[in-house]
A and B are shown apart, each in its own frame.
Chain A
Amino acid sequence: ELQLVESGGGLVQPGRSLRLSCTASGFTFGDYALSWVRQAPGKGLDWVGFIRSKLYGGTTEYAASVKGRFIISRDDSKNIAHLQMNSLKTEDTAVYYCAREMFKGKVVITGVGNYMDVWGKGTTVTVSS
């Protein structure tokens, strides 16, 4: 069974840091790019960032709202990706999902025409004093 499991969420004070993890099983994790998406309470979906597979450089892209504060990394030997969140703000409060990018060919380079086909159940991050 294809599966992604997020962990590491919790309550954190503004300005502090938190690291989320996304553990994969049921597929060759290293072959795929991965995205992070968040959802604030009662709100819609908000794309956070993306990491390419190592074949295509393992490089990252970020939404403007988190660029310079959040860092996505991956350890293919452990089938795990991380979302390091620094300088947290109250508006970062959300459920954070990781999602596999469906296609593993050259579309990974631009991300155009790739889609999130496997999602974890999410982990909740609350930023509050």
Chain B
Amino acid sequence: EIVLTQSPATLSLSPGERATLSCRASQSVSNYLAWFQQKPGQAPRLLIYDASNRATGIPPRFSGSGSGTDFTLTISSLEPEDFAVYYCQQRSKWPWTFGQGTKVEIK
């Protein structure tokens, strides 16, 4: 199965700062990658699909890039509600797999 490795595990930043999250795949997933946000006690929320397309209702401060094995989620200027855990997921080959998550916490 395809292993997704996210880095860093934890990102400590202040509101207004830029966040850059990485997801690396053990083999090429083309552009079939999604990013999800999850807050404590809530379900995941789709942010980005096909590596760079924002899902419905997602603000433009969220952007995704990459293809093949290396992907990035960028939050251009952190808002208080953006502090959460972020997961990448590949939709290239069964079984669908998720990264282990990156926690974005308030510094």
Query: How many residues of chain A are within 8 Å of chain B by beta carbon?
Result: 24
How far, in whole Å, are A37 and B19 apart by their CA atoms in the complex? Answer: 27
Closest 6 CB pairs of A and B: A119-B43, A115-B49, A47-B96, A45-B98, A115-B34, A117-B46
A-B contact pairs, 19 of them (CB 8 A): A37-B44, A44-B98, A44-B99, A44-B101, A47-B96, A47-B98, A99-B44, A102-B49, A112-B92, A113-B50, A113-B91, A115-B49, A115-B55, A115-B89, A116-B34, A117-B46, A120-B43, A121-B42, A121-B43
Take A113-B32, A115-B49 as given contacts and tell me if A45 and B44 are in contact as well, using a CB distance cutoff of 8 Å.
Answer: yes
Q: Contact between A44 and B100 (Cβ–Cβ < 8 Å)? A: yes
A contacts, CB < 8 Å to B: 35, 37, 44-47, 50, 61, 63-64, 97, 99, 102, 111-117, 119-122
**Within 8 Å CB of A111, what residues of B?**
91, 94, 96
B97 at the interface (CB under 8 A from A): yes
B contacts, CB < 8 Å to A: 32, 34, 36, 38, 42-46, 49-50, 55-56, 87, 89, 91-101
Q: Which of the residues B91, B95, B99 comes within 8 Å of A114, measured between beta carbons?
A: B91
**Within 8 Å CB of B87, what residues of A?**
44-45
